[in-house]
Structure 1
């Protein structure tokens, strides 16, 4: 039986594209929300979940860092998708026919130059893949969608213009989640990444002292983000990513020192660093 990988969005979304690229042998399962995506794995409806965590243009994805620690899932891989935006319309339409183009709120500003050049009004849709589906259903040559080429294939639309984004570096990073961690050291050209969350003890300079162990043990911390816990201003949790495996002596010592200044540490995953994170 073909295993499934769950993603949030409609078929043709960039998360769907991430599933196709990273796990081409698996069937992609569309889910309405991030919570449903996680639940699909916990219930056994899917083997893996593909969750976006950050975008090079818009920063971290809302709610994801809140959901990860309580999801019951563990990170086993990361994937990067270059967000190429395309103008999609019903067969037979030309760019000169298009008067309105629908897409997600965060994609429209990225195509402002192209839309202005062709006198096309941008319209907001809850999801770029949904915009493509609705354009196909309406069959109006004056209406288009800004979405992926995968969406064009799925909904039978023509690609009137490819890569219409104003900047050529927009990339989304995804985490591949599974019910069980894969803590063994895996072969990877660019080493391993360890992701974890922690809360510091309520003592002066606790965060500063907790971070000192990574510096003194030569561990490179690539990410440190804070967010409130349960909506309380006095309770802060940190999400961190470091280069290395917990069995590396330097990282082992750094985590031991971190434990002294924290109330809890939860390792969310140990996984190979993707080649894409090293490409400028």
Structure 2
């Protein structure tokens, strides 16, 4: 029972939703770019261990703050898993990430390690500054490059794809922080969303995510009809996100991000 509880705590502490989302996005991009099965598995494994590294380091760094505000959803606060266990898992994930990343090739490996470094840098430093958006912009902008540089021969993705990824990252940061603004402020965290305030952060998130949508639809050339339809869906969701009440704006903004991901994969 104790082992099962610790395992469940490790899963919760790795931030499973964003970990799964980024890993699946990398897999879809790899499929779209025509990677063979072996390279596809390697891309997924490298990205997955990188996301575990980011997620577990986040919960370890924030454990004191989470206890201060009584975060019952955090396993390090509730005792479902110990800091030592998370630390061991983090070390294993980081080591595996280095090996798997470099196995993709030197260019793809170094770019992916820079991406993971951005995530860890956010946890350690940038989260508390006005530049909290920067690691997200760099990391999401580099994700398509990790996948395309793993091709044989390696190639950089088009500029529009990296720019769209960066915008998507900034939007994801703003949306992700919104539910925790009060807890963050109570423990001294003042990233960009906190400085903007809830209302302006929400508007900024919607604007950035819509900009990503427009770039994905128009960037690669003449858009097909389904791409215009996707952009129309984004426009409707943007209105809901700006005018809705309660949790509706948050869900609508998340839906825009999801549509952006689908459009990015299909237009790649």
Structure 2 length-normalised TM: 0.26
Greater per-residue helix proportion: 2
Q: Point out which structure has higher relative CO (alpha carbons under 8 A, 6+ apart).
A: 1
Larger Rg: 1
Structure 1 length-normalised TM: 0.25
